[in-house]
A and B are shown apart, each in its own frame.
Chain A
């Protein structure tokens, strides 16, 4: 908008300030909301406990103070990277999330890889011959893919593969192998069997989107002069496809895939719930239901930062690749 924002460093600082603003607004909301809605100690304390024991617990968790004091304490600690301890487990909230992160990231990476591997060829196909029945089928399929809710697709896959055919497990993570501190499923066959359905669920919706983007990009590139020129030169169609077309549709695809990676991390909440996948999305839902405020807040703060940085990186990359985009990118 304003001229000065177009300089790169200012624009980065602006984004970070925005992120902090969002975090402040959101954390106040979550603090006050969860405070008003229920009493987290009621789930924790034994029903046999006396009032004195209950009070002691409230005090230990800092819940005996006014909500604003609690919030300011939180802010003070958060600046030092301490998001408090989970009410439920007593573990530092951030640690709980970080422990669950590999499972989510693994799921999302596999799903995104699947969506690109399936989506790009189908999208090119649909873009090359927009009138062919196969292309129409692909496009209709992609409407289904991104409009049907994620959990619904998961449900149908469970019904087909786990209940009816009985060939794939419907939940949990299966055998994992530790690579350093990180446990991975993709190194065992059992891990893959467990990963298959959740990754497919998450990946199908993303593939639908990649198809659409690829098709649109293909159709935009095809009438360009360099393609016409290459054709006129008599280059083999496969070479035109591989070199000239792919190279030019790559930018929008990479951009969208990058943005969708962030979306997929958030949407893993749903997939993980359907398949009891022990990732951080499942942790968020459980924490929302048990009003485990420190975990909810820590998760959201992390997600905001992650998404802001992801968007930032994509924009910077975009500007590096395509200088003319600098005018388009808004802070």
Chain B
């Protein structure tokens, strides 16, 4: 009968929706990690590793940005939120309701198009370029080539940290913005005179990565704070997390993941010789903490 078919088509979506709803309710068997796209690939591979010998558990890793990660964990909608910045630095987040786990450190390096003959930039020059006081490479390298700034999008963690450390409160020059590090990098490699910044894991030979004040952008220089432009990648959790979350968090600090972190050109937090709080204050790491 025809109207029966009609009814089936009508009922089916409702059934599907209610099934989904059931799926969400099964807790402890699955967890969701949401937030920073910079941290996402690492957590994905870590989760893959973790789930190899754990049948029935499912870890759902999603991007969405640091803002999404922080607001989702604040609402308790997910198990972990990934963020490029301290919760204190994000408006609308009550940092004292959350637990901060600084999983790793990422160095941020300026990248320059290969047409520019530059091996070294001073910190001051970097500041002047990104605040718009220098607009031509002439005063730095002698080439008559306009500087093309490629920013990351407003609110991106890499941009926030770069501007916080390099500009120190100076106003950034409004310039074009790109959604992702990969995109910013490919634009710098193809546009004469372009300059941008990416985290170490994105550094490629298609662009120049000049030294800053004579210090090369390497992991070892970040550990000693000789390379000053670096930031933490945070995992935020609720204060009372369930056992599944606790176990996975413990795994993230295991040597297995540390190896993964180093392989992706990040630095595990416990290898740092200094630490930085959310006010930007730098102190040596306590030996006991290690």
Question: Do chains A and B stick together as partners?
Answer: no
What is the interface of chain A, defined by CB distance below 8 A to chain B? none
What is the interface of chain B, defined by CB distance below 8 A to chain A? none
